[in-house]
């Protein structure tokens, strides 16, 4: 396993900078509203999203079917924002506990997760390259 670095406080005679104090406070206090805003910014429409909506709109569907399709499409697109926000609104303590548990697990298994991601990405690149070379 790996060792965690221990935070050493600054010497008593020197005051920490304002930036250092702000960074420590920002990193140790959960900011759920900021997380929701970042998730919403990441989930803003991309060109492919707008093109898919255009195809839904310009298709030869009944109006009711097109409306339902657009609503389902938007819900699927924003599920990464809507689900965590809903859990945070209805079960704030349970959500905070689950997030802390996941964060602790992820921190303790960081090397295994990174190795798994690298293995999957590398495998994809090798297979993709072989398919392109052989075809």
Q: What is the pLDDT of residue 1?
A: 52
What pTM did the predictor assign?
A: 0.46
Average pLDDT estimate for 60-66: 83
pLDDT digits (tens, 9 = 90+) for 76-107: 877 877 888 899 899 999 988 998 999 999 99
pLDDT digits (tens, 9 = 90+) for 8-51: 665 667 787 888 887 787 777 777 888 888 878 876 777 877 88
Encoded tokens for 46 = 């991309």
């Amino acid at each position: 396993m790996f060792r965690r670095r221990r935070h050493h406080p600054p010497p008593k005679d020197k005051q920490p900078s304002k930036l250092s104090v702000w960074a420590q406070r920002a990193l140790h206090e959960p900011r759920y509203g900021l997380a929701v805003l970042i998730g919403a910014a990441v989930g803003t429409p991309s060109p492919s999203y707008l093109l898919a909506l255009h195809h839904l709109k310009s298709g030869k569907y009944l109006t009711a079917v097109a409306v339902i399709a657009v609503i389902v499409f938007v819900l699927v697109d924003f599920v990464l924002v809507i689900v965590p926000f809903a859990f945070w609104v209805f079960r704030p303590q349970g959500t905070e506990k689950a997030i802390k548990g996941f964060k602790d697990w992820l921190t303790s298994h960081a090397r295994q997760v990174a190795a798994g991601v690298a293995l999957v990405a590398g495998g994809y690149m090798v297979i993709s390259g072989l398919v392109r070379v052989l075809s």
